Amino acid sequence: MFEPDLEYLKELFERSARHRGHFLERACFVERLIEDIIAYDFFPKPTQNKNRMMMLSFIFNEPSLTFRIKTSILNNLLTNRHKSILKSHPNLIRRLDEIRKLRNHLSHLTLDSSEEFLSQKLEDTLQYFKYEKGREKKYVYKVSEIDKCIKDCEAIISELNKVREEIQKDIK
């Protein structure tokens, strides 16, 4: 019977939390920035803060309003109300979709603790699995790949902040 190395397993869980967790935290922040930009676009005046907060509370907290829908709303706002901003950020929506897809994918995976994987004692690799169509499917990520995704998230956060500033200038 297989007896896992509990120290290695603990380190593996910590590595996953550190890398996958950092990515997921940033991806959630990206989603909040999208919400903030949309709410500001509809309620830009300081006297409308209450309305903006109500929109963030009642509409954006609705579970059926997904990251994909929020990105679509942002795209429609930029396409119809802020064309020059969209032109200066031509890959924004595509990059948001990539972050959303990876966030959804990573958040539904389980860390692999199988004998086959643990016996390799890889220091730079995280392996996850999920069941698809009656079979177990494995997903292997190098830590450096996830770290690159974290950097991509940080870059998109910076870009979204610029978009928000540009919208604020555009509306005034």
Distance CA 99, CA 95 (A): 6
What residue numbers bound the domain in which 158 lies? 6-171
Is 11 among the domain residues? yes
Is 28 among the domain residues? yes
Is 126 among the domain residues? yes
Residue 150: φ, ψ to 5°: -65, -45
CA nearest to 156, candidates 117, 82, 103, 80: 103
How, if at all, do strands 110-111 and 135-142 pair? unpaired
For the chain, the first-to-last Cα distance in angstroms comes to 69
Is residue 58 within 8 A of residue 46, CB to CB? The reply is no
Is 1 among the domain residues? no
Query: What does the pLDDT profile of the chain (172 residues) look like in tens digits?
Result: 668 788 999 999 999 999 999 999 999 999 999 999 999 999 999 899 999 999 999 999 999 999 999 999 999 999 999 999 999 999 999 999 999 999 999 999 999 999 999 999 999 999 999 999 999 999 999 999 999 999 999 999 999 999 999 999 998 7
Provide the pLDDT for residue 1: 65
Q: Give the H/E segment covering residue 136.
A: strand 135-142
Is 154 among the domain residues? yes
Q: How many domains does the chain have?
A: 1
